[in-house]
Amino acid sequence: MNFNKKSKKIGWAEKLLDKMAQNKKYKTEIVSADDAGIAKAEKLLSSGQVVAVATETVYGLAASAFHDGAVKKIFFAKQRPGNNPLIVHITTLNMVYPLVSEVPAKLNKLAEKFWPGPLTIVMKKSGLIPLIVTGGLDTVAIRMPSHPSIRKLIDVCGYPLAAPSANSSGKPSPTTAQHVFDDLNGKIPLILDGGTCEVGVESTVVSLAGEKPVLLRPGAITLEQLQSVLGKVEVAKGVNEAPAADSAPLSPGMSYRHYSPKAKVTLVVGSEDAYLKYLSENNLSENVFALCFGHEGEKSGLPYLSLGEFEDSVAAQHNLFSALRMADEKGASQVIARCPKKDGEWYALFNRLQRSAGFEVIEL
Ligand code: TXA
Ligand code: MG
């Protein structure tokens, strides 16, 4: 057999290798999200490319939600598993209706209260949304962001943008253009710099696709806020526990190791006193960092990173991912983080830290 002879049957492999090589050769540019930057991004998106863009939660890696080939590039650049669906971003309620096959009764009320903002709503999808966007599911997650960068971009493009967080899969989500660059340099052509993301953790995800509303991911919009509009909201099984190896969670993103810096993360839930006592009683080796509030860092006697003012949950959400990235920059071997509570306004912070810590939680 002549192994040098090109076989028609394996032409796909060569094509794919070519594509992979291409995917690495971008000279990734960071540009300001002004009119010129938005115009440049629109050109790329309309020719089937991907672009990273600021939102109020975290940076997203966007492609036209109607373009299979472009969406494929998102999965490739992030190294994201194909069964983990993407969020579709829109700027008006009218953009939602053609994307869904059923309009949930509570959609308008929910949108009125929380859109534009950090809330994603899962609904039954219409045929307009390609299955590659939804990871093969018959539902689609839709969000109306408030950040002017992504809003201008959607409006100039005129089509919805599919966008997951713009990190490498498994890493903490990016809250600055530089974080995106650190993860995806060479893999994407453009980053639209819209400053530091205000919220800092990804949107709350709620499903209205079934009979009862279900929380799929806690975020800045709390469970209690959702319940004030929807009545009882169930919490999906994968949200609070480590996923069983053989289960198929409602929100596939919940099943992956997530938000992980290189440093080992240990999560302590409790008061300042209990946390400081824990730190002093454990013979901690070098390069262990405290991740905590206000003056706790100084009191800990360890090198530390700050989550912001004492027990300010909004600041802590804002600071979390950049602190986890900073831990790696400083060469931390371990980060011991404090979260005051597991629920209410602390639910999103607890949820992200719990995943960074591989579900090992020390409750004091
Ligand atoms: O704030 C955010 O939501 C950011 C910004 C860029 O909008 N995006 C973001 O996307 O965090 P991503 O892909 O990192 O997280 C989306 C989450 C995943 O957990 C995914 O599994 C879930 O939403 N999701 C998406 N579509 C879904 C669907 N049809 N059904 C259930 N879960 C879905
Ligand atoms: Mg993500």
Shared-domain flag, residues 359 and 268: yes
Shared-domain flag, residues 293 and 185: no
Quick check: 109 pLDDT over 60? yes
Beta-bridge partner residues of 142 = 88, 121
The answer to whether the CB of 208 is under 6 A from ligand 1 is no
Distance from C-alpha of 33 to C-alpha of 31, rounded to nearest angstrom: 6
Residue 42 lies in a domain: yes
Name the pLDDT band for 260 (thresholds 50, 70, 90): confident
Shared-domain flag, residues 37 and 111: yes
Name the pLDDT band for 52 (thresholds 50, 70, 90): very high
User: What distances in angstroms separate CA 248 from CA 14, 281, 352, 356, one per listed residue?
Assistant: 34, 40, 20, 21
Residue 238 lies in a domain: no
Give residue for tokens 């900073």: 326
Q: How many residues does the chain have?
A: 364
The answer to whether the CB of 151 is under 6 A from ligand 1 is no
CATH code of residue 104: 3.90.870.10
Residue 161: the pLDDT is: 99
Tokens for 80? 């994201």
85: CA distance to ligand 1 center in Å? 7
Residue 72 lies in a domain: yes
The answer to whether the CB of 217 is under 6 A from ligand 1 is yes
Could you say which of 187, 203, 219 is where a domain stops? Answer: 203
Question: In this structure, what are the phi and psi dihedrals at residue 115, rounded to the nearest 5 degrees?
Answer: -105, 145
Shared-domain flag, residues 198 and 271: no
Three-state DSSP class for residue 66: coil
Total count of domains within the chain: 2
Ligand nearest to the CA of 258: 2
Shared-domain flag, residues 47 and 121: yes
Quote the pTM value.
Answer: 0.92
Residue 258: the pLDDT is: 72
Collect all residues with Cβ–Cβ distance below 8 Å to 94 and sequence separation of at least 6: none
Distance from C-alpha of 228 to C-alpha of 118, rounded to nearest angstrom: 16
Quick check: 34 pLDDT over 90? yes
Ligand 1: residue of 87, 147, 237 to mutate (most ligand atoms within 8 A of CB) is: 87
Name the pLDDT band for 239 (thresholds 50, 70, 90): very high
Residue 192 lies in a domain: yes
Name the pLDDT band for 68 (thresholds 50, 70, 90): very high
Q: Average pLDDT of 282-310?
A: 95
Closest CA to 303 of 278, 281, 335: 335
Evaluate the omega torsion of the peptide bond into residue 145 and state whether it is cis, within 30 degrees of 0.
no
Quick check: 9 pLDDT over 90? no
Residue 261: the pLDDT is: 87
Shared-domain flag, residues 271 and 180: no
CA 275 to chain centre: 28
- Look up the domain containing 174 and give its range: 5-203
Name the pLDDT band for 253 (thresholds 50, 70, 90): low
Shared-domain flag, residues 164 and 41: yes
For ligand 1, atom 32, the nearest C-alpha belongs to 251
Distance from C-alpha of 55 to C-alpha of 341, rounded to nearest angstrom: 27
Quick check: 255 pLDDT over 60? no
**Integer-rounded Cα radius of gyration of the chain:** 21
The answer to whether the CB of 251 is under 6 A from ligand 1 is yes
251: CA distance to ligand 1 center in Å? 8
Q: List the strands of the sheet with 234-235, edge to edge.
A: 29-32, 190-193, 51-53, 60-64, 161-162, 87-89, 139-143, 119-124, 204-207, 214-217, 234-235
215: CA distance to ligand 1 center in Å? 12
Residue 13: the pLDDT is: 77
Q: Give the pairing type, strands 234-235 and 119-124.
A: unpaired
For ligand 1, atom 13, the nearest C-alpha belongs to 164
Distance from C-alpha of 198 to C-alpha of 352, rounded to nearest angstrom: 17
For ligand 1, atom 6, the nearest C-alpha belongs to 60
CB 87 within 8 A of CB 143: yes
Residue 256 lies in a domain: no
Quick check: 7 pLDDT over 60? yes
The answer to whether the CB of 216 is under 6 A from ligand 1 is yes
Name the pLDDT band for 87 (thresholds 50, 70, 90): very high
Shared-domain flag, residues 186 and 299: no
The answer to whether the CB of 169 is under 6 A from ligand 1 is no
Closest CA to 210 of 181, 241, 236: 236
Three-state DSSP class for residue 190: strand
- pLDDT tens readout for residues 320-356: 999 999 999 999 999 999 999 999 999 999 999 999 9
Ligand nearest to the CA of 217: 1
Shared-domain flag, residues 177 and 297: no
Shared-domain flag, residues 159 and 21: yes
Quick check: 210 pLDDT over 90? yes
Residue 284: the pLDDT is: 81
Could you say which of 156, 174, 203 is where a domain stops? Answer: 203
Distance from C-alpha of 221 to C-alpha of 229, rounded to nearest angstrom: 12
Q: Of ligand 1's atoms, which has the minimum distance to the CA of residue 120?
A: 3
Q: Average pLDDT of 90-97?
A: 98
Three-state DSSP class for residue 295: coil
Shared-domain flag, residues 148 and 50: yes
- pLDDT tens readout for residues 136-179: 999 999 999 999 999 999 999 999 999 999 999 989 999 999 99
Residue 224 lies in a domain: no
354-345-362-330 Cα dihedral, nearest 10 degrees: 60
Quick check: 10 pLDDT over 80? no
Quick check: 198 pLDDT over 90? yes
Name the pLDDT band for 237 (thresholds 50, 70, 90): very high
CATH code of residue 357: 3.40.50.11030
Residue 70 lies in a domain: yes
Residue 247 lies in a domain: no
The answer to whether the CB of 204 is under 6 A from ligand 1 is no
Cβ neighbours around 2 below 10 Å, total: 6
Q: Average pLDDT of 97-111?
A: 98
Mean per-residue pLDDT of the chain: 93
Shared-domain flag, residues 322 and 197: no
